[in-house]
Amino acid sequence: MTTVCEREELLLEVVRAGRWTQIGGEELSSHIAACTSCAELVAVASALAVDHQAALHDAPVPPSGLVWWRMQKRAREEALRAANRTVTTIQAVSIAAGVAIALLILGTFADMQSLLHGAKEFMTIHLPAHVASGSAMSQWSVPLALAVLTCFALAPVALYFAFARD
């Protein structure tokens, strides 16, 4: 079972910073000699600190122009992704609204057929025969509904081209 020394955190900070002489060098050295847990910690942390410093000195630094180009490229890609998310969201909402409106119109069209039937009965009772036929109204109801549906379906496309930037 390993025991934890209360000075391990202090020793780890000292090894990372490389400040042996500034923070009680002799006292810490005598403690490390007496405490096996701290001695192992210092050995491992010292090796890691040396490797870290060597890696920092040997790390290749890219040219500043390349860093600038990568930064600009990344900013453009992030802006493009944000714009695509917005466009996709707007398209999804437009399609959902178009489907909802189409279903509403189709539902209203079915209700309108029953309404027309009731209106036709009313007209046969109260209006002259040439007005009561209602053939003109029923003849134009389907094309009119299709024209309205087409307008609602093409409205998002027209808005896209109207607001699209080159």
Q: What is the CA radius of gyration of the chain?
A: 40
> Are 156 and 95 a contacting pair, CB within 8 Å?
yes
Per-residue confidence (pLDDT) for residue 30, from 0 to 100: 80
Considering the entire predicted model, what is its pTM? 0.35
Per-residue confidence (pLDDT) for residue 1, from 0 to 100: 45
CA atoms of 10 and 28, how far apart (whole Å): 10
Per-residue confidence (pLDDT) for residue 65, from 0 to 100: 95
| pLDDT mean by block of 10 residues, the chain; 166 residues | 72 75 67 83 85 86 94 95 89 85 72 62 54 53 76 82 70
- Classify residue 14 as exposed, middle or buried by CB count within 10 Å of its CB (0-12, 13-18, 19+): buried
